[in-house]
Structure 1
Amino acid sequence: MKLLILGATGPTGRRLVELALRAGDQVTALVRNPAGLGDLADQVTVVMGDATSHRDVSAALAGQDAVVSALGRGASVVADDLFMRASAALIAAVEETGVSRVVWLSSFGVGHTLSWASVPQKVIYRTLLRSIYADKEIADDAVRASGLDWTVVYPTRLTHGQAKGTYRADDRLPMKGNPTISRADVAAFMHEAVHGSEWIGRSAVISD
Protein backbone atom coordinates (compact mmCIF):
# COMPACT_ATOMS: atom_id res chain seq x y z
CA MET A 1 0.00 0.00 0.00
CA LYS A 2 1.14 3.54 -0.75
CA LEU A 3 0.65 5.26 2.57
CA LEU A 4 0.97 8.91 3.60
CA ILE A 5 1.67 9.38 7.30
CA LEU A 6 1.11 12.70 9.06
CA GLY A 7 2.86 13.20 12.38
CA ALA A 8 5.56 10.71 11.37
CA THR A 9 8.20 12.27 13.62
CA GLY A 10 6.06 11.96 16.76
CA PRO A 11 6.30 9.02 19.18
CA THR A 12 3.24 7.25 17.76
CA GLY A 13 3.94 8.25 14.18
CA ARG A 14 7.46 6.80 14.24
CA ARG A 15 6.12 3.44 15.39
CA LEU A 16 3.55 3.58 12.61
CA VAL A 17 6.27 4.27 10.04
CA GLU A 18 8.32 1.33 11.33
CA LEU A 19 5.33 -1.02 11.16
CA ALA A 20 4.39 0.11 7.67
CA LEU A 21 7.92 -0.38 6.38
CA ARG A 22 8.15 -3.87 7.88
CA ALA A 23 4.85 -4.71 6.19
CA GLY A 24 6.23 -3.64 2.82
CA ASP A 25 4.22 -0.44 2.44
CA GLN A 26 5.57 2.45 0.41
CA VAL A 27 5.63 5.22 2.99
CA THR A 28 5.54 8.96 2.42
CA ALA A 29 6.03 11.24 5.41
CA LEU A 30 4.95 14.87 5.39
CA VAL A 31 7.22 16.56 7.93
CA ARG A 32 8.44 20.01 8.82
CA ASN A 33 11.85 18.72 9.91
CA PRO A 34 13.16 15.56 8.19
CA ALA A 35 15.82 15.21 10.89
CA GLY A 36 13.05 14.12 13.23
CA LEU A 37 12.75 10.88 11.28
CA GLY A 38 16.28 9.86 12.20
CA ASP A 39 17.39 6.65 10.50
CA LEU A 40 13.93 6.20 8.98
CA ALA A 41 14.45 9.13 6.61
CA ASP A 42 16.36 7.02 4.10
CA GLN A 43 13.59 4.42 3.98
CA VAL A 44 10.63 6.69 3.21
CA THR A 45 9.70 9.37 0.73
CA VAL A 46 10.12 12.61 2.65
CA VAL A 47 8.00 15.61 1.72
CA MET A 48 8.78 18.79 3.63
CA GLY A 49 5.69 20.75 4.55
CA ASP A 50 3.02 21.58 7.08
CA ALA A 51 0.11 19.26 7.88
CA THR A 52 -2.15 22.29 8.30
CA SER A 53 -1.47 23.46 4.74
CA HIS A 54 -3.92 22.27 2.09
CA ARG A 55 -1.30 22.76 -0.60
CA ASP A 56 1.36 20.77 1.25
CA VAL A 57 -0.97 17.91 2.13
CA SER A 58 -2.29 17.72 -1.43
CA ALA A 59 1.24 17.52 -2.81
CA ALA A 60 2.17 14.70 -0.44
CA LEU A 61 -1.13 12.85 -0.93
CA ALA A 62 -1.04 12.65 -4.72
CA GLY A 63 -0.72 9.04 -5.84
CA GLN A 64 -1.26 7.52 -2.38
CA ASP A 65 -3.75 4.79 -1.47
CA ALA A 66 -4.54 6.08 2.01
CA VAL A 67 -3.51 8.54 4.71
CA VAL A 68 -2.98 7.99 8.42
CA SER A 69 -2.72 10.93 10.80
CA ALA A 70 -0.84 10.47 14.05
CA LEU A 71 -0.57 14.19 14.73
CA GLY A 72 -0.20 15.22 18.36
CA ARG A 73 0.74 18.15 20.58
CA GLY A 74 3.42 16.34 22.54
CA ALA A 75 3.65 17.65 26.10
CA SER A 76 1.85 20.89 25.26
CA VAL A 77 -1.65 21.55 26.59
CA VAL A 78 -2.18 24.46 24.19
CA ALA A 79 -4.26 23.45 21.16
CA ASP A 80 -3.40 26.32 18.80
CA ASP A 81 -6.19 24.95 16.56
CA LEU A 82 -3.74 22.35 15.26
CA PHE A 83 -6.25 19.55 14.79
CA MET A 84 -8.99 21.75 13.38
CA ARG A 85 -6.61 23.24 10.82
CA ALA A 86 -5.04 19.89 9.98
CA SER A 87 -8.41 18.19 9.48
CA ALA A 88 -9.58 21.00 7.19
CA ALA A 89 -6.39 20.74 5.12
CA LEU A 90 -6.64 16.96 4.93
CA ILE A 91 -10.31 16.86 3.95
CA ALA A 92 -9.73 19.40 1.17
CA ALA A 93 -6.67 17.48 -0.02
CA VAL A 94 -8.33 14.05 -0.12
CA GLU A 95 -11.29 15.47 -2.00
CA GLU A 96 -8.91 17.05 -4.48
CA THR A 97 -6.73 13.98 -4.98
CA GLY A 98 -9.45 11.33 -4.80
CA VAL A 99 -7.81 9.44 -1.93
CA SER A 100 -10.76 8.45 0.25
CA ARG A 101 -9.28 6.25 3.01
CA VAL A 102 -8.40 8.18 6.18
CA VAL A 103 -7.40 6.93 9.63
CA TRP A 104 -7.35 9.78 12.15
CA LEU A 105 -5.88 9.67 15.67
CA SER A 106 -7.79 11.41 18.45
CA SER A 107 -7.91 10.75 22.23
CA PHE A 108 -10.24 9.00 24.63
CA GLY A 109 -12.37 11.59 26.40
CA VAL A 110 -12.90 13.69 23.29
CA GLY A 111 -16.48 14.29 22.15
CA HIS A 112 -18.90 11.43 22.69
CA THR A 113 -16.28 9.28 24.43
CA LEU A 114 -16.23 11.63 27.43
CA SER A 115 -19.44 10.06 28.75
CA TRP A 116 -17.64 6.70 29.18
CA ALA A 117 -14.74 8.14 31.17
CA SER A 118 -14.35 7.78 34.92
CA VAL A 119 -14.92 10.77 37.20
CA PRO A 120 -11.17 11.41 37.74
CA GLN A 121 -10.61 11.25 33.99
CA LYS A 122 -13.41 13.73 33.33
CA VAL A 123 -11.84 16.22 35.74
CA ILE A 124 -8.56 16.13 33.80
CA TYR A 125 -10.25 16.26 30.40
CA ARG A 126 -12.41 19.25 31.39
CA THR A 127 -9.58 21.23 32.96
CA LEU A 128 -5.97 20.55 31.98
CA LEU A 129 -6.81 19.14 28.54
CA ARG A 130 -9.87 21.25 27.84
CA SER A 131 -8.34 23.34 25.04
CA ILE A 132 -6.79 20.44 23.17
CA TYR A 133 -9.86 18.23 23.54
CA ALA A 134 -12.18 20.96 22.27
CA ASP A 135 -9.95 21.36 19.22
CA LYS A 136 -9.85 17.60 18.66
CA GLU A 137 -13.64 17.35 18.88
CA ILE A 138 -14.06 19.88 16.07
CA ALA A 139 -11.55 17.99 13.95
CA ASP A 140 -13.09 14.57 14.65
CA ASP A 141 -16.56 15.80 13.76
CA ALA A 142 -15.23 17.26 10.51
CA VAL A 143 -13.58 13.98 9.55
CA ARG A 144 -16.76 12.02 10.29
CA ALA A 145 -18.88 14.47 8.29
CA SER A 146 -16.50 14.43 5.32
CA GLY A 147 -18.16 11.54 3.49
CA LEU A 148 -14.77 9.84 3.16
CA ASP A 149 -13.85 6.30 4.21
CA TRP A 150 -12.81 7.42 7.67
CA THR A 151 -11.82 5.78 10.93
CA VAL A 152 -11.34 7.89 14.06
CA VAL A 153 -9.24 6.28 16.80
CA TYR A 154 -9.67 7.03 20.51
CA PRO A 155 -6.85 5.52 22.59
CA THR A 156 -6.73 5.81 26.37
CA ARG A 157 -3.66 7.29 28.10
CA LEU A 158 -0.63 6.62 25.92
CA THR A 159 2.54 4.98 27.20
CA HIS A 160 5.92 4.21 25.67
CA GLY A 161 5.72 0.52 26.52
CA GLN A 162 6.14 -2.42 24.20
CA ALA A 163 3.28 -3.68 22.06
CA LYS A 164 1.19 -6.32 23.82
CA GLY A 165 -1.14 -7.17 20.95
CA THR A 166 -3.92 -7.91 23.44
CA TYR A 167 -5.62 -4.51 23.50
CA ARG A 168 -9.39 -4.08 23.35
CA ALA A 169 -11.05 -2.16 20.50
CA ASP A 170 -14.74 -1.38 20.18
CA ASP A 171 -17.15 1.38 19.16
CA ARG A 172 -18.10 1.73 22.82
CA LEU A 173 -15.67 0.85 25.61
CA PRO A 174 -16.58 2.18 29.08
CA MET A 175 -13.58 2.65 31.37
CA LYS A 176 -12.71 2.33 35.04
CA GLY A 177 -9.80 4.07 36.70
CA ASN A 178 -7.09 5.42 34.40
CA PRO A 179 -6.46 2.77 31.72
CA THR A 180 -3.53 2.96 29.35
CA ILE A 181 -2.37 1.63 26.00
CA SER A 182 1.09 1.67 24.45
CA ARG A 183 1.80 3.84 21.45
CA ALA A 184 3.12 0.69 19.78
CA ASP A 185 -0.29 -1.00 20.10
CA VAL A 186 -2.05 2.15 18.85
CA ALA A 187 0.21 2.19 15.80
CA ALA A 188 -0.49 -1.51 15.21
CA PHE A 189 -4.24 -0.93 15.36
CA MET A 190 -4.10 2.04 13.00
CA HIS A 191 -1.95 0.15 10.52
CA GLU A 192 -4.29 -2.83 10.57
CA ALA A 193 -7.33 -0.57 10.24
CA VAL A 194 -6.03 1.28 7.19
CA HIS A 195 -5.38 -2.04 5.43
CA GLY A 196 -8.87 -3.39 6.04
CA SER A 197 -12.51 -2.37 5.77
CA GLU A 198 -13.78 -3.43 9.22
CA TRP A 199 -13.37 0.01 10.77
CA ILE A 200 -14.49 2.19 7.88
CA GLY A 201 -17.10 4.68 9.08
CA ARG A 202 -16.50 3.78 12.73
CA SER A 203 -14.98 5.40 15.79
CA ALA A 204 -12.70 2.95 17.59
CA VAL A 205 -12.02 3.22 21.33
CA ILE A 206 -8.89 1.21 22.21
CA SER A 207 -7.27 0.31 25.52
CA ASP A 208 -5.34 -2.44 27.28
Structure 2
Amino acid sequence: MKNPQNTTIYKLIIVGANGGIGRQCVEQALQAGHIVTAILRNPAKLTTEHPNLKKVSGDVMQPGTFENHFENQDAVISAIGVAGGFGSDKPTTLYSQGNAHILKAMEQKGIKRMFLISASAIEISPVLPFYIRLIEKYVVQKLLKHMYADLHKMEILVKSNNISWTIIRPPQLTNQAVSGKYRIAINAFLKNCLKISRADVAHFIINNIANQDTYQATVEIGY
Protein backbone atom coordinates (compact mmCIF):
# COMPACT_ATOMS: atom_id res chain seq x y z
CA MET A 1 0.00 0.00 0.00
CA LYS A 2 1.26 3.49 -0.87
CA ASN A 3 0.55 6.83 0.77
CA PRO A 4 0.21 10.10 -1.21
CA GLN A 5 3.99 10.64 -1.05
CA ASN A 6 4.38 7.31 -2.92
CA THR A 7 6.09 5.57 -0.02
CA THR A 8 5.07 2.24 1.44
CA ILE A 9 2.74 2.30 4.42
CA TYR A 10 3.76 -0.13 7.15
CA LYS A 11 1.89 -1.61 10.05
CA LEU A 12 4.22 -0.98 12.97
CA ILE A 13 4.31 -2.28 16.52
CA ILE A 14 6.05 0.16 18.88
CA VAL A 15 6.85 -1.33 22.27
CA GLY A 16 7.77 1.10 25.04
CA ALA A 17 5.82 3.78 23.22
CA ASN A 18 5.81 6.26 26.09
CA GLY A 19 9.60 6.47 26.42
CA GLY A 20 11.64 9.25 24.87
CA ILE A 21 12.52 7.40 21.67
CA GLY A 22 9.29 5.38 21.61
CA ARG A 23 7.06 8.42 21.73
CA GLN A 24 9.05 10.06 18.94
CA CYS A 25 8.72 6.89 16.86
CA VAL A 26 4.95 6.95 17.33
CA GLU A 27 4.62 10.59 16.28
CA GLN A 28 6.97 10.37 13.30
CA ALA A 29 5.49 7.10 12.08
CA LEU A 30 2.03 8.63 12.11
CA GLN A 31 3.29 11.74 10.30
CA ALA A 32 4.73 9.45 7.62
CA GLY A 33 1.36 7.76 7.15
CA HIS A 34 2.09 4.45 8.84
CA ILE A 35 -0.39 2.47 10.96
CA VAL A 36 0.82 2.18 14.54
CA THR A 37 0.00 -0.14 17.41
CA ALA A 38 1.57 1.32 20.55
CA ILE A 39 2.16 -1.14 23.36
CA LEU A 40 2.81 0.24 26.83
CA ARG A 41 1.96 -0.69 30.37
CA ASN A 42 -0.32 2.30 30.85
CA PRO A 43 -1.83 3.46 27.53
CA ALA A 44 -3.28 6.56 29.21
CA LYS A 45 0.24 7.98 29.52
CA LEU A 46 0.53 8.29 25.74
CA THR A 47 -1.59 11.35 25.04
CA THR A 48 -1.14 11.26 21.24
CA GLU A 49 -4.41 10.68 19.36
CA HIS A 50 -4.63 9.75 15.68
CA PRO A 51 -6.93 7.68 13.43
CA ASN A 52 -3.98 5.39 12.57
CA LEU A 53 -2.96 4.87 16.19
CA LYS A 54 -4.13 2.06 18.44
CA LYS A 55 -2.94 2.18 22.06
CA VAL A 56 -2.96 -1.10 23.97
CA SER A 57 -1.85 -2.26 27.39
CA GLY A 58 1.00 -4.74 27.45
CA ASP A 59 4.02 -5.73 29.52
CA VAL A 60 7.05 -7.24 27.73
CA MET A 61 7.80 -9.33 30.80
CA GLN A 62 4.36 -10.99 30.45
CA PRO A 63 4.08 -12.24 26.84
CA GLY A 64 0.41 -13.10 27.16
CA THR A 65 -0.42 -9.41 27.50
CA PHE A 66 0.80 -8.38 24.04
CA GLU A 67 1.28 -11.38 21.73
CA ASN A 68 -2.15 -11.14 20.07
CA HIS A 69 -1.41 -7.60 18.88
CA PHE A 70 1.45 -8.88 16.68
CA GLU A 71 -0.97 -10.40 14.15
CA ASN A 72 -0.59 -9.06 10.58
CA GLN A 73 2.15 -6.52 11.40
CA ASP A 74 5.16 -5.58 9.27
CA ALA A 75 7.80 -4.53 11.79
CA VAL A 76 8.47 -4.11 15.49
CA ILE A 77 10.28 -1.20 17.13
CA SER A 78 11.44 -2.09 20.62
CA ALA A 79 12.06 1.12 22.53
CA ILE A 80 11.86 -0.41 25.99
CA GLY A 81 14.13 0.91 28.70
CA VAL A 82 14.64 1.04 32.43
CA ALA A 83 13.84 4.20 34.36
CA GLY A 84 16.57 6.08 36.13
CA GLY A 85 20.14 6.32 34.92
CA PHE A 86 23.33 7.34 36.68
CA GLY A 87 22.99 6.72 40.40
CA SER A 88 19.97 4.43 40.08
CA ASP A 89 21.37 1.48 38.14
CA LYS A 90 19.90 -1.81 39.36
CA PRO A 91 20.05 -5.41 38.14
CA THR A 92 17.59 -5.89 35.30
CA THR A 93 16.50 -8.44 32.72
CA LEU A 94 14.17 -6.03 30.91
CA TYR A 95 16.30 -5.76 27.77
CA SER A 96 17.30 -9.40 27.43
CA GLN A 97 14.15 -11.13 28.66
CA GLY A 98 11.74 -8.50 27.39
CA ASN A 99 13.16 -8.61 23.88
CA ALA A 100 13.33 -12.41 24.01
CA HIS A 101 9.57 -12.38 24.58
CA ILE A 102 9.12 -9.95 21.69
CA LEU A 103 11.23 -12.11 19.38
CA LYS A 104 9.19 -15.18 20.28
CA ALA A 105 5.95 -13.36 19.51
CA MET A 106 7.41 -12.17 16.20
CA GLU A 107 8.37 -15.73 15.29
CA GLN A 108 4.87 -16.96 16.12
CA LYS A 109 3.23 -14.27 13.98
CA GLY A 110 5.73 -14.29 11.12
CA ILE A 111 7.17 -10.78 11.58
CA LYS A 112 10.70 -10.47 10.17
CA ARG A 113 11.75 -6.83 10.81
CA MET A 114 12.84 -5.38 14.17
CA PHE A 115 14.64 -2.34 15.57
CA LEU A 116 16.17 -2.34 19.05
CA ILE A 117 17.89 0.33 21.14
CA SER A 118 21.22 -0.44 22.79
CA ALA A 119 23.98 2.04 23.78
CA SER A 120 27.21 3.18 22.16
CA ALA A 121 29.25 2.80 25.37
CA ILE A 122 28.47 -0.91 25.55
CA GLU A 123 31.67 -1.28 23.50
CA ILE A 124 34.47 1.26 23.79
CA SER A 125 34.97 2.86 20.40
CA PRO A 126 38.59 3.11 19.25
CA VAL A 127 37.77 6.22 17.18
CA LEU A 128 36.55 8.32 20.11
CA PRO A 129 38.87 10.89 21.69
CA PHE A 130 41.13 9.33 24.33
CA TYR A 131 39.52 11.16 27.26
CA ILE A 132 36.03 10.07 26.16
CA ARG A 133 37.18 6.46 26.02
CA LEU A 134 38.47 6.78 29.59
CA ILE A 135 35.18 8.29 30.79
CA GLU A 136 33.15 5.54 29.11
CA LYS A 137 35.32 2.76 30.54
CA TYR A 138 35.84 4.02 34.08
CA VAL A 139 32.71 6.10 34.69
CA VAL A 140 29.82 5.28 32.35
CA GLN A 141 30.29 1.51 32.20
CA LYS A 142 30.74 1.30 35.97
CA LEU A 143 27.80 3.52 36.90
CA LEU A 144 25.51 1.67 34.48
CA LYS A 145 27.06 -1.79 34.81
CA HIS A 146 23.76 -3.60 35.39
CA MET A 147 22.01 -1.97 32.44
CA TYR A 148 24.98 -2.59 30.14
CA ALA A 149 25.29 -6.20 31.27
CA ASP A 150 21.70 -6.82 30.24
CA LEU A 151 22.08 -4.89 26.98
CA HIS A 152 25.06 -7.11 26.21
CA LYS A 153 22.90 -10.21 26.78
CA MET A 154 20.23 -8.69 24.57
CA GLU A 155 22.67 -8.07 21.72
CA ILE A 156 23.98 -11.65 21.86
CA LEU A 157 20.41 -12.97 21.81
CA VAL A 158 19.32 -10.80 18.89
CA LYS A 159 22.46 -11.45 16.81
CA SER A 160 21.79 -15.19 17.00
CA ASN A 161 18.38 -14.67 15.41
CA ASN A 162 17.74 -14.91 11.67
CA ILE A 163 15.24 -12.05 11.40
CA SER A 164 16.11 -8.68 9.83
CA TRP A 165 17.17 -6.92 13.02
CA THR A 166 18.84 -3.55 13.46
CA ILE A 167 20.49 -2.72 16.78
CA ILE A 168 20.96 1.02 17.25
CA ARG A 169 23.73 2.20 19.57
CA PRO A 170 23.12 5.87 20.34
CA PRO A 171 25.54 7.96 22.42
CA GLN A 172 24.32 10.61 24.89
CA LEU A 173 20.65 11.28 24.17
CA THR A 174 19.17 14.78 24.09
CA ASN A 175 15.65 16.20 23.76
CA GLN A 176 16.39 18.39 20.75
CA ALA A 177 13.85 18.51 17.93
CA VAL A 178 14.22 16.29 14.90
CA SER A 179 16.75 17.59 12.38
CA GLY A 180 17.18 14.65 10.03
CA LYS A 181 20.86 15.64 9.87
CA TYR A 182 23.14 13.07 11.48
CA ARG A 183 25.84 10.56 10.65
CA ILE A 184 25.66 6.78 10.88
CA ALA A 185 28.13 3.90 10.79
CA ILE A 186 26.82 0.43 9.90
CA ASN A 187 28.72 -2.41 11.58
CA ALA A 188 31.48 0.08 12.34
CA PHE A 189 32.42 2.74 14.86
CA LEU A 190 31.35 6.33 14.18
CA LYS A 191 34.07 8.91 14.69
CA ASN A 192 33.20 11.48 17.37
CA CYS A 193 29.88 9.79 18.11
CA LEU A 194 29.01 11.91 21.14
CA LYS A 195 25.38 13.08 21.03
CA ILE A 196 22.09 12.47 19.23
CA SER A 197 18.53 13.52 19.95
CA ARG A 198 15.85 10.97 20.69
CA ALA A 199 13.87 12.53 17.85
CA ASP A 200 16.66 11.88 15.34
CA VAL A 201 17.07 8.28 16.51
CA ALA A 202 13.37 7.88 15.76
CA HIS A 203 13.85 9.62 12.41
CA PHE A 204 16.50 7.09 11.45
CA ILE A 205 14.24 4.18 12.42
CA ILE A 206 11.15 5.38 10.59
CA ASN A 207 13.15 6.18 7.45
CA ASN A 208 15.09 2.90 7.30
CA ILE A 209 12.41 0.26 7.77
CA ALA A 210 13.12 -1.26 4.35
CA ASN A 211 16.83 -0.39 4.12
CA GLN A 212 18.47 -3.77 3.58
CA ASP A 213 21.90 -2.29 4.39
CA THR A 214 20.72 -2.12 8.00
CA TYR A 215 19.42 -5.69 8.15
CA GLN A 216 21.27 -7.79 10.75
CA ALA A 217 23.44 -4.78 11.48
CA THR A 218 24.58 -2.67 14.40
CA VAL A 219 24.30 1.06 13.75
CA GLU A 220 26.06 3.90 15.54
CA ILE A 221 24.39 7.28 15.11
CA GLY A 222 25.49 10.79 16.07
CA TYR A 223 25.88 14.38 14.91
Normalising by structure 2, what TM-score? Answer: 0.85
Structure 2 residue aligned with 1:207 = 222
CA displacement 1:38-70 (0-9 Å, x = unmatched):
133775112211022222332121111110111
2:89 maps to 1:82: no
Structure 2 residue aligned with 1:172 = 188
Secondary structure class of the residue paired with 1:39:
coil
State the shift of 1:74 in Å. Answer: 3.1
Percent sequence identity is 31
Structure 2 residue aligned with 1:196 = 211
> 8 Å contact 1:35–1:41 — kept in the other structure?
no
Alignment match of 2:47 (pick from 34, 38, 41): 38
Secondary structure class of the residue paired with 1:78:
coil
Q: How does 1:88-167 map to 2 (within 5 A)?
A: 88-110=100-122, 113-116=123-126, 118-167=133-182
What is the rounded CA distance, in whole Å, between the counterparts of 1:123 and 1:202 in structure 2? 27
Secondary structure class of the residue paired with 1:132:
helix
CA displacement 1:142-193 (0-9 Å, x = unmatched):
11111111110001110001222221111222555x8110011100011122
Q: Which blocks of at least 5 consecutive residues in structure 1 are unaligned?
A: none
State the shift of 1:78 in Å. Answer: 2.1
What is the rounded CA distance, in whole Å, between the counterparts of 2:179 and 2:218 in structure 1? 22
| CA RMSD in angstroms, aligned pairs only | 1.8
> 8 Å contact 1:2–1:27 — kept in the other structure?
yes
CA gap 1:43/1:75 in 2 versus in 1, 3 angstroms: farther
The answer to which structure has the higher helix fraction is 1
State the shift of 1:101 in Å. Answer: 0.6
CA gap 1:108/1:129 in 2 versus in 1, 3 angstroms: same
Alignment match of 2:33 (pick from 24, 34, 43): 24
What is the rounded CA distance, in whole Å, between the counterparts of 1:72 and 1:159 in structure 2? 15
Structure 1 residue aligned with 2:14 = 5
2:64 maps to 1:55: yes
Q: Which amino acid aligns with 1:84?
A: S
Secondary structure class of the residue paired with 1:114:
coil
Q: Which blocks of at least 5 consecutive residues in structure 2 are unaligned?
A: 1-9
> 8 Å contact 2:121–2:141 — kept in the other structure?
no
Q: Which amino acid aligns with 2:24?
A: R
Bigger radius of gyration among the two: 2
- Tell me the matched-pair count: 205
